[in-house]
Copies of this chain bind each other. A is one copy, B any other.
Amino acid sequence: MDERSLLLLGLLLVQSQHGYQLNEFIERNLSRVTDMKKSTAYATLDRLCDAGFVDKHMEQEGNRPPRKVYAMTSAGKQHFYDMLRENLSHADQMNFASDIGMMFLDHLSRKEVLKLLESRLHQLQTQVDAYASAPKHRYGLGVDFAIEHHLVHLRADVTWLHSIIHRIKEDESDDGIE
């Protein structure tokens, strides 16, 4: 949640924007970096307002529906830098949903496990291709770093999964249950 605030503040630091604009940008350019949804962005912006980190005011252009324009306050700038330093300097615990499944491997037959993991491997490889072919420099250097970071993890995952599949194939012990 914290990093969602950081993202929104970072975007508002460059220029004031209205909600739709922020969400469009996130959807179009940052879908590989965050999965924050529209309504979460609005809720987070409201919280940032309550905390005094951004100002909100209505604006009307022509006779289009009125828009909420969000602008950084100076307290917000301070908070942005605080959060940024916190974010860059800390390695927070990662958790992988797929590890839960791995825990219960032995409840399925070896054959089925192999089929399932190979399907996962294919999807991973598709993701690798998507990230590898992502266009460069949409929003400064930082996004490229993030994409690269993702690729590193995806490739590590592919290698690991290969190894697991190989070991399960080689494993001549018993066949699992069910």
Contact = CB atoms under 8 A, between A and B. Distances in A.
B153 A95 contact: no
Given A102-B142, A150-B96, A120 B35 contact: no
Interface size class of A (residues with CB under 8 A): 35 or more
Given A10-B104, A107-B84, A108-B84, A90 B35 contact: no
A164 B140 CA distance: 15
Given A107-B81, A142-B105, A160-B149, A117 B88 contact: yes
A88 B103 contact: no
Number of this chain's copies in the assembly equals 2
Interface stretch (A1-9, A43-51, A62-70): A1-9
Contacts of A2: 97
A94 interface: yes
Interface in A54-112: 80-81, 84-85, 87-108, 112
Interface string A139-178: 1111101101110111111011000100000000000001
Contact of A101 (B4, B87, B93, B95): B87
Interface string A117-155: 101100110010000000000011111011011101111
